[in-house]
Structures are given as structure tokens and as C-alpha cells.
Amino acid sequence: MNIFILLLFSLLSVNADVCICQFPKEDSKFGAGYRGEIGFYKMGCAIWLRKEMECRRQKIIDINTPLGPYLDRVLGESETLRIGYVGHWSSSEEYINYLKDNIEPLVREKKIPVEVNNTACLSMADANAVQSYLSSLQIPNDTYIRVEGTQTTSIGMWDKVLIHRRKADLIAIADSRDISPTYPSCKEFFNRNCTMFQENETGFCEDETKILRKLICHKKIKVNKDGSLKIKKTRKWLFEDEVKKMKEL
């Protein structure tokens, strides 16, 4: 009985989060919205929110709508705001501008930690630039900003339904509490399928010795017994330096 009570207390004492998924409209300042795709953005948001099962509150809000009034009503003490984004994106520069205009003021005003999961393309193509901006904020660790995004063209939330393309998106993370971005493990991505939209795109991963290596989405090269090269149609995340060496043979 005592063990049951302790377990129940621990579950009740866990801080819940407020989760918001944003999507762009045609006139969005950040992200690209297209009228015919808004329904798909909202569908992607529903998938993202379903994954965030621990959230006490969940809501889909377009990216033009200020979040402050909603948070004033629902955000509890010591809670974290978690934001997902589904739509199109253009670059890390746009990501930084979004963080400057939308997220940094929110963090400073509400004094809350914010985590952003941008599922669109290229938001972390220059992860060092995003990390540099976050490191410069000098905000307390308990009101941190942590952002995640893809280094390349993304298949976004659809990797949850396209089973054979899961792990195709090469992600990276930047955090105001760190000085360097975090890249995924090479072991997690090497030799996994990538998509035709990512072909010849590159991104970084971290090997077992903590060294950064560059991956490229490439049609896997196979050497036949007679020494000739055979190009396989399946696209894989391969080490760029090894692909170059293979081409030089």
C-alpha cells in the first residue's frame, strides 16, 4: 500500500507541460503557408500533439497568433511551453528571426522554459548560427530555450506514418544552456534510407569518438566482384568522404 501511494504521489507531482503546435497561413511572417496545404499542416500538428502525450494542455494555433493571451489563461507555475511547427521553412536565418521576434520576448516576459520542435525543412541547416544566437541571450538556465530542427529537406511529421522512411530527417539541436549544437549519432543515421528530395544534401552527425562527420544522401554504391561499380537505386545516408573515395576508384 505504501509503495502504491508513493508511486501515485510521484505521478501527480510531475510537472505537466503546455503544448502548442503552430502552422503558417498564406500571409505568415515566418514559414510558408499555402491555402491548399493548410489542412495537411493541421493534420501534421494533430500527429505531433498525439506524440506529446504528457502535455496537460494541447492546442493548434496559427503562427501569426500571439501566444501570450492563451498562456495567461492556461500556463501553470513551473511548466514548460513546448511548441511544434508544421509547414514550410526556408533557412536557419529565418529560424533565428522567428526566435528573436516570437520566442525570446515570451521567455523574458513569462520567465518560462520553451522548447521548439520545427519539423519543416532547413531550420537547422546552419546549426552553429542558431546555437550562437541562443548562447548570446544569457538567460537563466531555468528559463532556457531549446530548439530542434532538420539540417536538410524534411519529410516532417510524415515519418510517423511512412514506416520505411522513418529516421530520414537529419536533425540537430541548439540550447541556450550550451555553447555548441548537438548532432545526432552517426550510428543512428548511417546507412538508413533517405528520400529523393534529400538526394545529395548533407548534414552532420557525431561518431562514437565525439568527432563530427558529414553524411550525404546518396544512391548507395556497390563494388562488383570484377571491380566495376554498380549504383543501387536505394538512397542511404552515407559518409561523404567515403562516397568521394569510392567515386575516385
Last residue within a domain, chosen from 182, 212, 234:
182
Q: Which residues of the chain have pLDDT under 70?
A: 1-16, 156-167, 221-233, 246-249
pLDDT tens digits along 210-246? 999 999 999 876 666 666 666 566 899 999 998 877 6
What is the pLDDT, as a whole number, of residue 123? 96
Last residue within a domain, chosen from 182, 200, 223:
182
Residues 102 and 216 placed together within one structural domain of the fold: no
- Non-local (6+) Cβ contacts of 139 within 8 A are 107, 108, 145, 176
In a domain, 7, yes or no: no
Residues 135 and 227 placed together within one structural domain of the fold: no
In a domain, 69, yes or no: yes
CB 27 within 8 A of CB 65: no
Residues 134 and 227 placed together within one structural domain of the fold: no
Number of domains in the chain: 2
In a domain, 11, yes or no: no
Expressed as residue numbers, the domain containing 212 is 189-248
Last residue within a domain, chosen from 161, 182, 203:
182
Residues 84 and 103 placed together within one structural domain of the fold: yes
pLDDT tens digits along 196-210? 889 999 999 999 999
In a domain, 209, yes or no: yes
What is the pLDDT, as a whole number, of residue 16? 61
Residues 23 and 96 placed together within one structural domain of the fold: yes
Residues 137 and 197 placed together within one structural domain of the fold: no
In a domain, 218, yes or no: yes
CA quadruple 85, 91, 93, 94: dihedral sign: negative
Q: What is the CATH number of the domain that holds 72?
A: 3.40.50
